[in-house]
Amino acid sequence: MADEQNPQLPLNPENPDNPNGSVPGRGAAFMLSINVEEEMRRSYLDYSMSVIIGRALPDVRDGLKPVHRRVLYGMQEMGLQFNKKHTKSSKVVGHVMGNFHPHGDAAIYDTMVRLAQPFSLRYPLVDGQGNFGSVDGDPPAAMRYTEARLTRIAGEMLADIDSDTVDFTPNYDESTLEPTVLPARIPNLIVNGSGGIAVGMATNIPPHNLTEVVNAAIALISKEKGETRSDLELVLEHVKGPDFPTGGYIFGKSNIAQTYKTGRGRFIMRAKCSIENISGGRQAIIVTEIPYQVNKARLIERIADLVNEGVITDIARDEFRDESDRDGMRIVIGLKRGAEHQIVLNQLHKHTQMQESFSMIFLAVHNGQPKELPLDAAIRAFLEHRIEVVRRRTAFLLGKARDREHILLGYQIALDHLDNVIKTIRQSGSRAEARENLFQYFSGKKINLRGTELKGVTLDPAKYNVDMTFSTTGTLILSYRQVDAILELQLYRLTQLSIDELLKELAEVRDNITEFESILASEKKLRRVIIKELEEVRDKYGDARRTQIVDETAELQLEDLIADEQVAVTISNTGYLKRTPISTYRQQRRGGTGRLGMKTRDEDFVAQLIVDSTHAYLLCFTNTGRVYWLKIYEIPDVGAAGKGKAMASLIALQPGEKIVTILGIRDLTEAGKFIFFATRNGTVKKTPLPDFSNVMSRGIIAIGIDKDDELINVRVTDGHQVVFLATHEGQAIRFDENDVRSMGRPAFGVKGITLRKADYVVGLAVTPSEESRKKRQQELKTEGKDITPCLILSVSENGFGKRTDVEEYRLQTRGGSGVINMKTTPKTGKVSSIQLVDDTSELMAISQFGKIIRIDTNSIRAAGRSTQGVKLLNLESDDKVAAAVVIPPDEAKTSPEEGTLLQ
């Protein structure tokens, strides 16, 4: 380089060979010649490592970046434990910024805010009070308006930090110290995840379930030497996949193992939805959980844009709204009439963030260097950290215990020579003189410790970790620390009780010393301590998974989207089927006029009513003895007064077939269950339930039927119950189910009751066996509970009904003519149906003209067999009761005001 005034003049004219040397008269300025490329490379690498280690990437041991660690440690220093009151966030930010993190207050506050957000962290580490943002992307309130403290689980991150468990380093101005890592009893990096962009690299670790990760850590640390399974196999037995704080679905299981093996991969997240019925006979998609890190407000805005742009045409604008509140998320996406919700869902998954991907990069600082880790290696790194922490903590506690033993031993020696100690102190002119006199008194003196002469006994000085030393002859020299402790001994400690307490404490301290030494000497015992602490953390903070993992080969079925609710399913005589939530019908007193439950034509009437879950299978049995399968959610909900949908459009019925009874069953493969049949002519049969588990759309033969006969009722039994058959003319028979042997599906069955001329069977009920019923009654009597009788409710065509105890019907052999069940007269009409009830049952009865009433069966007077009963439903002169069904007690919903009629 040339001089600025004279470009030709060297900087050092006296020594042209040393142009960078000093120039006379120009001071001692030096110029270094460097290679720009090398300097840029070195400076950029230094900057990169500074960003990577000191800012952007978490430490694999505690899962925290420096700013997170400083916030938590700063709050610990301020005493903001979970059981203390909240403190202004601005005070916390100021403390952290002034002592540990010399950057902008916004960066520190943003960090603290994220640590407090339950939708960002699976297990929040800060307990915030005030507005800390929302899943809608709303910003938090200013730090002067919010307050914070540590959560209980954050205390586990900082536990034992004062026990020399981790290294400390000077802060930025060397005015104090800060930890380089936290002790971290929980695998925070894995359970809470992390994300960050460094220079040339990035990390994106999903959160996981604490219970699963801790169980995996216990499995790894407990792994035996002869174990043939790899670490990853052991881990994947417990860790099923990410567990996001916002719930939802993870779609796909096949790539999870490979992702955790390499530390890189992608998970497909989906919103959790259900299907509900809304006004006007329409349906709505209800979104209750959305993918992780998705902004709910933007998601709703995006859906609205798609509707406005015509991309999705089946969403009703007037039924699209956000009903989320403090109790949870609820986005209502109403559909137009006739829209197929599965198609709309697929469109939403394609065009919106209701389906989103999470790309995992498991990158963290390990041994001072950024490293991509498989899941098992990350857990191993955490366990190695815990081993080091527990070892250092045990050594620290051992040192403390030895120091305390040293002092207690001095007390013991002084108490054995109490009179001489007091005399020596009283003869001393000052504290310093007393200190020296006591030291000299015990120097070289043979000490008898509670009757044990030390002379000639070899003692290990290291055992006491003291300045106290023993000569080869067993003489003992007290340390000045012990002498100082003796001088500070309070007078009340000279009582016998206090002396015993000191000796007891000495024994306990020595036991602790033995325990600490054994832990440090045994790797196996040290690992047991770690396992015990992990189990405590799991039991205290573990919870159930929020995110459900589904296999990509098992695409979310329609059933996964349907709300599980109780509904009333009705079928008309001409084959119209519909469902309605039972909450639509309020409870009324007997004798009410009911409400319109199904709109029918003049020539049609309701033939059957059943109450069950939307997720149950419907076994639809026809009069000809065939059975068809149907899911309840496949039946349309067209409103309480709607006509419904023709059965022919839901089931491929054969000519001349009509549905006579429907059973709701959740598990078709359940062993020990039977389907029991009864025909109009009194024939009965039972067949194992698993025989009907092979679902076929075209239906199969369920029972063989004679030409002049038809199936009238079907029930589910356990094979050892008592069967009750009732006839139209008021007869009934009760016999043991074991009288009917199990038969295959095509079998015709055996005779159940002998009928009179023109009579026919109208109902079938199954009751517990005599042995089971008596055993249950004895249990209730022992528990001091009321014995609820088992009652048969008989309903006549003209709306009369009565309840009769089943014990009034004697047990007979099948095939008999039975006994009188109900006295039938022109006033009551013939028997229409029977139901099995108790004092807690509710009844829904429906007439041929579609009028429904819902009453408490307890309001129906109990009567004997040969009685007429009481009025249940007021009917028009030409109307008759078509069917009645009992609502299970746990599903019964009563109205706010009993007796209110809904028209």
Q: Is residue 233 part of a domain?
A: no
The reply to whether 781 and 670 lie within a common domain is yes
For the question of residue 145 being annotated catalytic, the response is yes
Question: How many CA atoms, within 13 angstroms, populate the side-chain half-sphere of residue 292?
Answer: 31
The reply to whether 327 and 461 lie within a common domain is no
Q: In this structure, what is the dihedral angle of CA atoms 494, 498, 504, 507, given to the nearest 10 degrees?
A: -30
What's the number of domains the chain is made of?
A: 5
Residues paired with residue 619 on neighbouring β-strands, in sequence order: 629, 663
CATH of the domain at 839: 2.120.10.90
Number of Cβ within a 10 Å radius of residue 137: 11
The reply to whether 765 and 823 lie within a common domain is yes
Q: Which of 150, 183, 216 is the last residue of a domain?
A: 183
Q: Which candidate in 44, 47, 145, 172 is catalytic?
A: 145
Sign of CA dihedral 661, 665, 668, 672: negative
pTM of the full structure? 0.62
Q: Is residue 588 part of a domain?
A: yes
502 Cβ contact list (under 8 Å, min separation 6): 408, 411, 412, 415, 493
Residue 493 is given by DSSP the state G
Tally of residues, the chain = 903
- Contact between residue 862 and residue 798 where contact means Cβ atoms under 8 Å apart: no
Residue type, 678: A
The reply to whether 646 and 756 lie within a common domain is yes
The reply to whether 485 and 597 lie within a common domain is no
The reply to whether 504 and 644 lie within a common domain is no
Q: Is residue 529 part of a domain?
A: no
Q: Tell me, what's the pLDDT at 61?
A: 94
464/482 Cα distance (integer angstroms): 12
What is the phi-psi region of residue 338: left when phi exceeds 0, alpha when psi lies from -120 to 50, beta otherwise? left
Q: Tell me, what's the pLDDT at 359?
A: 93
Q: What is the mean pLDDT of each run of 10 residues along the chain (903 residues)?
A: 45 50 52 82 73 80 94 95 95 95 92 96 96 94 96 95 94 93 95 88 93 96 86 93 95 89 93 88 91 95 92 90 91 89 88 93 91 94 96 95 90 85 90 89 56 37 40 57 88 81 90 94 94 95 93 61 74 74 60 51 58 81 89 74 74 82 82 92 93 81 91 89 92 92 92 91 87 78 74 88 88 90 87 84 80 82 83 84 68 32 21
614 Cβ contact list (under 8 Å, min separation 6): 562, 563, 564, 565, 567, 579, 631, 632, 633
Question: How many CA atoms, within 13 angstroms, populate the side-chain half-sphere of residue 569?
Answer: 28
Angle at 317 between CA 314 and CA 318, to 5 degrees: 125
Q: Tell me, what's the pLDDT at 445?
A: 53
CATH of the domain at 486: 1.10.268.10
The reply to whether 162 and 298 lie within a common domain is no
Residue 225 is given by DSSP the state T
Q: Is residue 604 part of a domain?
A: yes
- Contact between residue 159 and residue 185 where contact means Cβ atoms under 8 Å apart: yes
Q: Which of 353, 376, 391 is the last residue of a domain?
A: 353
- Contact between residue 831 and residue 795 where contact means Cβ atoms under 8 Å apart: yes
CATH of the domain at 311: 3.30.1360.40
887/370 Cα distance (integer angstroms): 63
Residue 788 is given by DSSP the state P
User: In 3-state terms, what secondary structure has residue 704?
Assistant: coil
The reply to whether 613 and 755 lie within a common domain is yes
The candidate with the shortest Cα–Cα distance to 160, out of 522, 529, 508, is: 529
Tokens of 175: 């005015």
What is the phi-psi region of residue 451: left when phi exceeds 0, alpha when psi lies from -120 to 50, beta otherwise? left
Q: Tell me, what's the pLDDT at 89?
A: 96
475/483 Cα distance (integer angstroms): 17
The reply to whether 28 and 69 lie within a common domain is no
Q: What residues make up the domain containing 333?
A: 272-353
The maximal CA–CA distance of the chain, rounded, in angstroms, is: 142
Number of Cβ within a 10 Å radius of residue 190: 30
Q: Is residue 632 part of a domain?
A: yes
Q: Is residue 440 part of a domain?
A: yes
Q: Tell me, what's the pLDDT at 227?
A: 82
Q: Are strands 177-179 and 147-150 parallel, antiparallel or unpaired?
A: unpaired
The reply to whether 746 and 597 lie within a common domain is yes
Q: Is residue 256 part of a domain?
A: no
Q: Phi then psi for 419, rounded to 5 degrees?
A: -65, -45
Q: Is residue 343 part of a domain?
A: yes
Going edge to edge, which strands form the sheet with 761-767?
Answer: 761-767, 722-727, 731-736, 819-820
Question: How many CA atoms, within 13 angstroms, populate the side-chain half-sphere of residue 24?
Answer: 3
The reply to whether 72 and 23 lie within a common domain is no
The reply to whether 751 and 609 lie within a common domain is yes
Q: Tell me, what's the pLDDT at 591?
A: 54
Q: Which of 183, 198, 216 is the last residue of a domain?
A: 183
